[in-house]
Structure 1
Amino acid sequence: MTATVLHRLGIRPATLGLWRSILIYRGQFWRRRALERFCRTLVRPGDLAFDIGAHVGNRSEALARAGARVVAFEPQPRLADFLERRVANGPIRLDRRAVGAEAGRAELAIAPRHPTVSTLSADWRRRVGEDRGFRGVEWAERVEVEVTTLDRLIAQYGEPAFCKIDVEGHEAEVLAGLSRPLRLLAFEYTPATLDIAERCLDRLAALGTYRFNLVVGESFRYRRAEWLPAAAFRAALAQEAGRNTRSGDVYARLEEPER
């Protein structure tokens, strides 16, 4: 639907983008059920979970239904307003700050019709803008947002049992603001910018000994039967990205020290 048609109908592109995201991520009950089953393997009742880049809250709500106490981080004003209406007086706490390597303020580039790809990373925006999968995406709005770090959030809320990071090319910066290993976390990767995933793996290797697995797209199933050590996983991720253009999530599980 063109901007001219939207204008004539009195529909703002940002409104269309919000409802598009709601339909994709919340409107398909079979996907919601698969996500809820998957989240029960990540957290136990009473666990604390961070959802960094909460978007329309489907992950936050699935984690909450698994029994976790969830802090949902979403700096986009329209999405945060939507989440605030959804999570009021429930097990999910909304935090409107972005997360990065250092505390401060930064410019968030918003794609009104595709709010899921709004980002703090100008470099990521430039690079994926050349990919055919992002054709038609326009980051037409800018807003200044407050940025904090994972270390500060842990000091404020406690250490999460699970931390999900989906911030459109800003994942390595989020992990740069973390100085301790977490038990279980996930970060998004895109095949067009696989070097960002490599930086995330480097940071995790500096924090602790992890094993890794992969979920492609919205399948909510691990790609590998076994969790791989870092070197083997890097090769597996490169192979997957070379044959599959869909983005996905890398899951990192901290190895328990031998007793």
Structure 2
Amino acid sequence: MTPDSQTNFLYLADTLPKKYPEFYAGLEKELNKQKVAFDFLTNTKDVWAVDYMPIQVGEKFVQFSYDPSYLKFKKYEKTKSDVDAICSTLGIQTQKSEIVLDGGNLVRSARQAFVTDRIFEDNPTWERKALLEELKNLLELDRIFLLPAQPGDFTGHADGMVRFVDEHTILANDYSKEPKKFFEAFEIAIHNTGLEVIKLPYPIYENTSNDHANGDYINYLQMDKVIFAPIFGFKEDEEVIRILEEAFPKDSIIPIESNELAKDGGILNCISWNIRKDF
């Protein structure tokens, strides 16, 4: 796959500046300051672009079915963007797969990926081993690791849980204050990968709703030589920036105040469709 660290062009939903004007103003300022090339996806129906847009795998784009279990209710139908129309506008032809998978539930490096076990709920007709093998083939991966979906997480996504530093190291949330059953299952899952683990603070416990993502620092936006890291005015902000600077010494770490966005459950990776373009 094309890892985030190799992407050089960012697309955002055209709904983003309208829905989150204060947040967008700060993000736009830093994107321009860092000379990040970006544009808007047109005629979108929600801001969470990573979920419905295709996955870049070298020269191809794999389009999974955007029909997750959490959007089955009628009230969410109006939030589903026409991905075929968006890709057509961009001149992108996709390789379609019937597998139901949100981009936010695929945390990737070049040869490895994480998904949560929500993928089995979303694809009940697939035999589990066959489903994972098909994903590996489509995405040209060596290994796929499974994580337990976090209790109370509406989406069951992996991008708020772990991220790759490189092929040997990951960042992972410190879930030590989570329910014991989940914490132990998560720790076993990341231990079994054989990868080195760096823990990030996870101070979400003062949030008034499970829908709030304030404090989920791991949902950053990574591109070539730059990481845009969410901050929240929490005492942990400085510690997280320091950890990211140590983990990615060759990258610029740019803090982005993200409270307005996080109140609706998503942060920087959620709104981003970042790809590799040959200009």
- TM bucket normalised to smaller: 0.3 to 0.5
TM-score (norm 1): 0.34
* Structure that is richer in helix per residue: 1
RCO (CA 8 Å, sep 6+): is it higher in 1 or 2? 2
